[in-house]
Structure 1
Amino acid sequence: MFGLMRRYASRTDVPYLVMCGICSLISIVVLVSVGQSQLGGSNNKASVQLIASLLGIMLAIIASTVDYRTLARAWPLHAVVAWGLVIPTLFLHNFRAGFLTIGYDAGGTSNYSWYRVGGMTFQPTELAKISFVLTLAWHLERVRGKVNRPLNLLGLLVHILLPVLAIHIQGDDGTALVFLGIGAVMLFAGGLSAWLIAGAGVAAVAGGTALLVLKPDILKGYQFKRILAVLDPTDPALADFTYQQNKGSMAIGTGGLTGQGLFNGEHIFVPNAWNDFIFSYLANALGFLGAAAVLLLLFGIAARTLRTAYRSTDALGRYICVGIFAALFLQCVINLGMNLQVLPVIGVTLPFFSAGGSSVVMMYLCVGLVLSVSLHTRRTRGLAEYVD
């Protein structure tokens, strides 16, 4: 057993997995503190996070031993499963069938992207995110060097925009933006022309502005007010929408160098501190040094993901790692922007840290894919050196 573990450790990217595990460990400790100070002493959030993290690490190790090429070629299987779970939530809202609720509105904001099974919730778009990266990487590898041809580009855009539209219909626009960002970054990595990127950017800004002017009701009322809350956080008419972000930025600002401590009970109250605003609570409890350490860990994970992409011996491995890097990076930027009151609240979690069993497990499956690229890249290089 120990020999098998040593052989695995000698071939895989151990520092990468260790950094992810440290993030989870910090998250669990912080969630215990949140439970003591804001949830009446309940450790339920921390317990779920612990179980999900251990399960996720185990699944990451298992996934890393499977060749990523096999996983990409199996796209009909995981695509059917992932999107087969997503599609019912487009039409069924809070539909109860015994102990199962389809299209569960977890946050009270017309976001029907969840399943509720008994007392547990699951968001199928987290699984769909992994399938999306694999299928788009496979698609890009098939048209490698010919991305800018009109028919190929049209097919890729359809591949990206259909999932984005489906998730928008669910009501989860935060996740839809993440999917759109993943697709854009992977297209760029696949060789999309810089001129086309610039043109698409201009067209998106112009089209979005025109759409808001011609059809202002395209945004739900609370979405528009969340945008206004960022532009004018002192407006008393927006107090219900600015309260959470005001508290979050206040918590970050009063953390000082070393913070208020984890278990002293003197933290600034931040609504939903265990989920979207865990960074605010963490910065208040651990201060600038703790917040900086968390950011360095996340930066290290993102940088090592790109390192694995660079070292990959084939385009498919590079595209997979770039897609996972994009998911990690975009979620971090959006979540931190929400906490720092520079972006509106759109329900995007901080990877590894925010409470949520399904999101943690799926994040570790992404880690497993990166480890698979790393491990099988080393095998390929070793074989090539042996043949030479």
Structure 2
Amino acid sequence: KISKYYKRLDKGLLIAVTVCALIGVIMLYSMYKVGIGDIEKRTYIIQLISTGLGIAVCFIIASIDYHHLVKLWFLYAPASIALVLLTFTGLGLQRAGADDRAWLNLGFTTLQPSEFLKLAFILTFSFHLYKDEENINHPLHLLLLIIHGAIPIGLVALQGDYGTAMVFILMFVVMLFSAGLSIKYIIAAIVITPPAIYLLWNYGLQSLHKNRILVLIHPGTDPMGLEYQQNLGLAALGSGKLFGKGLFGNKDDYVIVPEMHNDFIFSYIGQVFGFVGAIAVILILAYICIKILNNSRNTMDKLGKLICLGTFAMIFTHCFMNIGMVLKVMPVIGIPLPFFSAGGTALLSMYIAIGLVLSCYAHNDKKYRMFYDYD
């Protein structure tokens, strides 16, 4: 049965994400050996351990029927919300240079609970849409779905993590529209979007976040302030030219960018591997997104489709916003590049999300279950 299970895995998707994770470890190791970016030895070691743990967890999640996973919402949904709420207590941590208080200080390490809240949302919202499929266009039922989406969006926004809030919003929109939302509600959403943006701009966003958007519209207005990191990121990306400077060159040959090991790791990829390497990374990430979309079309039911689409929305939004930050077409809002950026919590959560997609892919036939029979 294990051999049959292995044959049903989407091995192409698993290999692609693991290639990305290993390249990320190599990038961190390179920074450590060259002596740039204030990288400690433990940074790339934690990333390597997280990769191995992520692969193991991914296999375990993939072996479990996703119909059973969604039914455990009463365990992971309250737990993930509770962890986010703990960031508002004395355990909450605001990292140096960050605008948000989104981490938990566990003493021996830190944890970003919103990463697990994303996974809980994908499962619970998919289940909610699936169970209420016939009624989602009824006003009361739609209101409950909106409340479901507003809870995680509101929590991470209160943390000051507007980047993650944007990820949740796009996940919510993609999943809700894909579930069969009536065209009248889609038109209504389009109509209210401009006034909603107006209210958010004038009464929701802080001046710092407004200025990060304004410098994109008016480049050159704050080169030594808000634009400084992005200007360095662009310079680093371009300095690699066609084939890059290599992994272990002279320290003085590299452009050092703040948070280069994390949110701006794509700028280091450009330095090391050049234009060719940067395009290759974009193509691998595009392949991952396309594979997830394709898997959503081949699932057994709408529940599997929604889980895949929620995962797609999460990964695509991360990739688009992160690379956009480096290219200076998106504001700096602290979004890591999936599978590449340093951060054990983020990497592990991405592997769990891929495990959910693999579960939907492997359990798309009622005649086959690894551990369970589904009624």
TM-score range, shorter chain: over 0.9
CA contact (8 A) 2:39 2:261 kept: no
CA distance 1:368–1:350, shift in 2 (3 Å): same
Correspondence for 2:72 among 71, 74, 77: 74
AA partner of residue 137 (structure 1): S
CA deviation after TM superposition for structure 1 residue 157, in Å: 0.6
Q: 1:166 to 1:42 in 2, by over 3 A?
A: closer
Whichever residue aligns with residue 216 of structure 2, its letter is: V
Q: Return the TM-score normalized by structure 2.
A: 0.93
1:230 matched to 2:228? The reply is no
Structure 1 equivalent of residue 178 of structure 2: 189
What one-letter code is carried by the residue in structure 1 that aligns with 2:7?
S
Number of residue-to-residue matches in the alignment: 367
Alignment of 1:262-301 (within 5 A): 262-265=247-250, 266-301=253-288
Structure 2 CA distance for partners of 1:211 and 1:314, relative to 1, 3 Å: closer
Q: Check the 8 A contact 2:28/2:39 in 1, yes or no.
A: no
Give the match's secondary structure for 1:241.
coil
Q: Which residue among 8, 14, 30 is the counterpart of 1:33?
A: 30
CA positional deviation for 1:122: 0.4
Distance in 2 of aligned mates of 1:71 and 1:374: 14
| 1:251 correspondence with 2:251 | no
SS in 2 for 1:333: helix
**Structure 1 equivalent of residue 63 of structure 2:** 65
Change (3 A) 1:367 1:382: closer
Alignment TM-score, normalising by the size of structure 1:
0.90
**1:309/1:26 CA distance change after superposition, 3 Å:** same
Task: Identify the residue that residue 368 of structure 1 maps to in structure 2.
Answer: 355
Instruction: Report SS of the residue matched to 1:377.
Output: coil
Letter in 2 for 1:285: V
Identity %: 38
Question: What is the distance in 1 between the residues matched to 2:304 and 2:348?
Answer: 21
For 1:187 and 1:40, how far apart are their aligned partners in 2?
Answer: 42
Once the 2 structures are TM-superposed, how far is the Cα of residue 148 of structure 1 from its aligned partner? 1.6
Verify the 8 A CA contact 1:275 1:355 in the aligned structure 2: yes
> Aligned AA for 1:313?
M
Q: Aligned-pair distance for 1:203?
A: 0.9
Superposed counterparts of 1:348-359, under 5 Å = 348-359=335-346
**RMSD of aligned C-alpha atoms?**
1.9
Which residue identity lines up with residue 72 of structure 1 in the other structure? V
Letter in 2 for 1:181: L
Whole-angstrom CA distance in 2 between matches of 1:84 and 1:380:
38
Distance of aligned partners of 1:210 and 1:359 in 2 relative to their CA distance in 1, 3 Å threshold? closer
Asked if the contact 1:175–1:348 (Cα under 8 Å) also holds between the matched residues in 2, the reply is yes
For residue 386 of structure 1, what is the aligned residue in structure 2? none
1:20 to 17, 21, 27: 17
Which residue number corresponds to residue 105 of structure 2? 116
| Rounded Cα–Cα distance in structure 1 between residues aligned with 2:268 and 2:38 | 16
Would you say the 8 A contact 1:145–1:191 is kept in 2?
A: no
Aligned to 1:240: 225
Return the alpha-carbon distance in structure 2 between the equivalents of residues 133 and 320 of structure 1: 6
Higher mean alpha-carbon deviation, 226-235 vs 349-358, is at 226-235
In structure 2, what is the Cα distance between the partners aligned to 1:260 and 1:379?
52
CA shift at 1:58, angstroms? 0.3
Q: Which residue of 297, 308, 326 maps to 2:313?
A: 326
- Is the contact between residue 23 and residue 352 of structure 1 (CA under 8 Å) also seen in structure 2? yes
Could you list the per-position Cα deviations for residues 18-66 of structure 1 after superposition, in whole angstroms to 9, with x for gaps in the alignment?
1111001111111111223314674322111100010000000011111
1:163 is aligned, of 139, 152, 168, to 152
SS class of match (2:329): coil
| 2:153/2:168 contact within 8 Å kept | yes
8 Å CA contact retained: 2:50, 2:348 = yes
Q: 1:341 aligns with which of 311, 328, 343?
A: 328
Query: Is the CA contact (8 Å cut-off) linking 1:36 and 1:43 kept in structure 2?
Result: no
Q: 1:259 to 1:82 in 2, by over 3 A?
A: same
Secondary structure class of the residue paired with 1:353: coil
Gaps of 5+ in 1: 96-101, 384-388
